[in-house]
Amino acid sequence: MMSDIRPPRYRSLSEIVCAAADVLRPAERLTVSQAAAKYRKLHNPGAYSGDWKNEKVPYMIEPQDVLTSRDYNACVFVGGAQLGKTDALLLNWLTYSVVCDPMDMMLVNTAQATARDFSIRRVDRLHRHSPKVGELALKGNKDNVFDKHYRSGMMLSLSWPSINELSGRPVPRVALTDLDRMPENVDGEGSPFDLARKRTTTFGSSAMTLAESSPGHEVQDPRWIPSSPHEAPPCPGILALYNRGDRRRWFWPCPFCNEFFEPSFKLLQWDNTIDIVAAAESVRMICPACRKPIEHYRKEDMNLAGQWVKEGEFIDCDGRITGNPVRSDIATFWLKGPAAAFITWQKMVLNYLLAEQEYERTGSQEALKSTVNTDQGEPYYPRGTESMRAPEEMKDRAVQAPTAQEGDKNRPLVPHGVRFLIAQVDVQANRWEVQVHGIIPNGTLYDIQVIDRFPIIKSARIDERTQEHAWVKPGTYLEDWDLVRDEVILREYELEDGSGFMAIKLVVCDSGGKEGTTANAYNFWRKLRREGLHHRFLLLKGEVKPGIPRIRIEYPDSGDKRGKEANARGEIPVLFINTNLIKDELNGRLDREDEGGGAILYPDWLEDDWFVELTGERRTDKGWVKLGSKRRNEAWDLLVYAIATCLHLGLERWDWTSVPGWAAEWPENTLVRAPEQGARFTPVETGTYDAFGRLGAALG
């Protein structure tokens, strides 16, 4: 069979000789940073175009040059965004490898899509705008998205973390970018870094594995105290790799006292003003030695005088380094955000203050975690990690809520201010636990108030042995799910002033549990669709994977793992939630006062067990866990579902002066009926074509 690879065409014997010379040419004796200064060209219209300048990012010179050192076989770089680390470590190393010392190279991105984007957006542009690199790149079928070939015989592979990509191929130079956004364990075979490092072992002292990333994992032990000055907190991923090596930190000199110190966000100060833009503009760095304020314009000069200091080393005010450094075959670097060349201290502080505002407004820590990781270059300590609430403390904060006497019980009423009701259902082996919540506008935010809490425990089925109603079994009997329709979806609550009754806007129900529960939940949704009620019922599934959004709607299918057991056909919407993130948000809301908005309110008539359930979990380094396997936590979980429901309805973005009819004031509210009017919703069999259900869903 003839190969479809065409040999290059040459116009003369001299061209053939020159091409052969590229293969035989000895390595040009330059460091990576020197090769970048000589051969790398940047083309960033609107920013900077021209020669690569090491003096713009002086902190990247030493990490670049380690990549060709025979004393190390791995390099780890921790830093936030806007440092220039991708350009310096990956593209400059590639430039060096192509032009100066050709050896096969693999660049591992977070996923196949990001590998493709890196190939097109970064590598192809490197070929176009750095002439020496471009002229050595082969064209045609030797240049595709995931493989690049060069005249020297060198090959570049663009890859991603899978066991097929990270095994079975010896490569002397491997780089992993954005490591903390990769899976911690690749197909059960180990970490991406260790798998990548194995690919280089046959190349001896020529081998080099690089990993770079901003921190992306939370600190595992909030009470951790460093055992040495340069030790990183206990985190998986890039900081764990940093701790394996010689632990270098970037120090720069104070322009007033010349004492060297490590720039970090905690050394920044700003005025405490209501105007956060003005506060950010007032930022300055406080020297930890002389306590004098340092203005941002001095950053460039301090970086030019900065030095990397290893664990065990000390630097004096003259820049002399002494001591006994830690020895390792891994060179590791950690650069904090304030030293970054391409982001100002003002922008860092503004991002932080905006994230604090979002946390105060919504309880969500996502923006805080993002700015701490990517702007500050630090690992994130979750808020509330050490909080332990007592049931008595929470009960003391209960509010008076309106009720009506009904026999020997109090019947909950809808308090003034509630615009609409949502109900959350937690599935247990032999019952449903139901909690109804009212949504109350409070300034630009909203409060969530517990209106009612009750179980569904007895089925319509008769136990033949006792001749009494049997316990419900959500995982066994589909007909038991009709109770969720009759006792929750169709339930109405009387308004506090007696002017009418309010129906429930949306019921959200957990879809997991004992075997058979998910299948019955899906079949119940299909039954509601036939009855025209499915737009008032939504299934929910919790997840604890890092990096996933707080909420998202998916349609499970039998072709994937989540849909197989329930015979799903891709027609049923399921609300997937990041339980750790939303529990963090609930934790923050429970600390808020109702005067400021964003609070969780609950009535004083709730039983003591409810408050025990509310305090049944605590935050650990691995997320939220129950306090004992037998400790009940339904009150907590149902509030988590309530927050997820509000996020699904988009309440974070609402302008409460212009709302849908079902969230209007009571006289105009479409979910409120007068006492003399009939029930707002009733089940109607609509057959296979759900016209009224679709119309209802479209109208909200």
Confidence of residue 547 (pLDDT cuts 50, 70, 90): confident
Cut 0.95: pTM above it: no
pLDDT (0 to 100) of residue 15: 61
Task: Write down the H helix ranges in 30-152.
Answer: 32-39, 61-66, 85, 92-99, 112-118, 124-129, 131-136
Which pLDDT tens digit goes with each residue over 326-384? 999 999 999 999 999 999 999 999 999 999 988 887 778 889 999 999 999 999 988 76
Which tokens sit at 206? 């020529």
pLDDT (0 to 100) of residue 7: 52
Annotation: CATH topology of 24-213: Rossmann fold (3.40.50)
Q: Which of 181-190, 246-255, 675-684 has the highest mean pLDDT?
A: 246-255
pLDDT (0 to 100) of residue 277: 96
pLDDT (0 to 100) of residue 386: 53
Query: How many CA within 13 A on the CB side of residue 566?
Result: 30
Q: What is the mean pLDDT of residues 629-642?
A: 91
Q: What is the mean pLDDT of residues 66-87?
A: 94
Share of the chain above pLDDT 70, in %: 91
Q: What is the mean pLDDT of residues 645-674?
A: 95
Task: Give residues with Cβ within 8 angstroms of 658, minimum separation 6.
Answer: none
Which tokens sit at 292? 């004098």
* b/e 496-530 (16+ beta carbons within 10 angstroms → b): beeebbbbbbbbbbbbebeebbbbbbbebbebbbb
pLDDT (0 to 100) of residue 46: 81
- Cα-based angle 243, 245, 251 (whole degrees, multiple of 5): 85
Amino acid identity of residue 699, one-letter, is: L
Pick 12 or 277 by higher pLDDT.
277
Pick 558 or 281 by higher pLDDT.
281
Confidence of residue 568 (pLDDT cuts 50, 70, 90): confident
Which pLDDT tens digit goes with each residue over 212-254? 999 998 887 766 778 899 999 988 999 999 999 999 999 999 9
In the predicted structure, residue 566 carries a pLDDT above the cut 90: no
Which pLDDT tens digit goes with each residue over 659-668? 999 999 999 9
Confidence of residue 631 (pLDDT cuts 50, 70, 90): confident
- Of 81-85, 219-223, 333-337, 457-461, least confident by mean pLDDT is 219-223
Which pLDDT tens digit goes with each residue over 143-173? 899 999 999 999 999 999 999 888 878 999 9
Element (H, E) at 193: helix 192-198
pLDDT (0 to 100) of residue 45: 86
In the predicted structure, residue 104 carries a pLDDT above the cut 80: yes
pLDDT (0 to 100) of residue 5: 42
User: The tokens 């039954």 sit on which residue?
Assistant: 527
pLDDT (0 to 100) of residue 21: 58
Answer for the pair 649, 442: CB distance below 8 angstroms, yes or no: no
Pick 535 or 512 by higher pLDDT.
535
Rounded to an integer, what distance in angstroms lies between the CA atom of residue 330 and that of residue 624? 34
Arithmetic mean of pLDDT over the chain? 89
Query: How many CA within 13 A on the CB side of residue 360?
Result: 9
Which tokens sit at 131? 């002439």
End-to-end CA distance of the chain: 64
The DSSP bridge partners found for residue 183 are: none
Share of the chain above pLDDT 90, in %: 70
Which tokens sit at 482? 């009709």
Pairing of strands 537-543, 574-578: parallel
Rounded to an integer, what distance in angstroms lies between the CA atom of residue 111 and that of residue 182? 8
pLDDT (0 to 100) of residue 544: 84
Task: Please compute Rg for the chain using Cα positions.
Answer: 31
Confidence of residue 677 (pLDDT cuts 50, 70, 90): confident
In the predicted structure, residue 196 carries a pLDDT above the cut 80: yes
Task: Write down the H helix ranges in 105-199.
Answer: 112-118, 124-129, 131-136, 192-198
User: What residue ranges of the chain are covered by domains with CATH 3.40.50.300?
Assistant: 24-213
Q: What is the mean pLDDT of residues 638-648?
A: 97
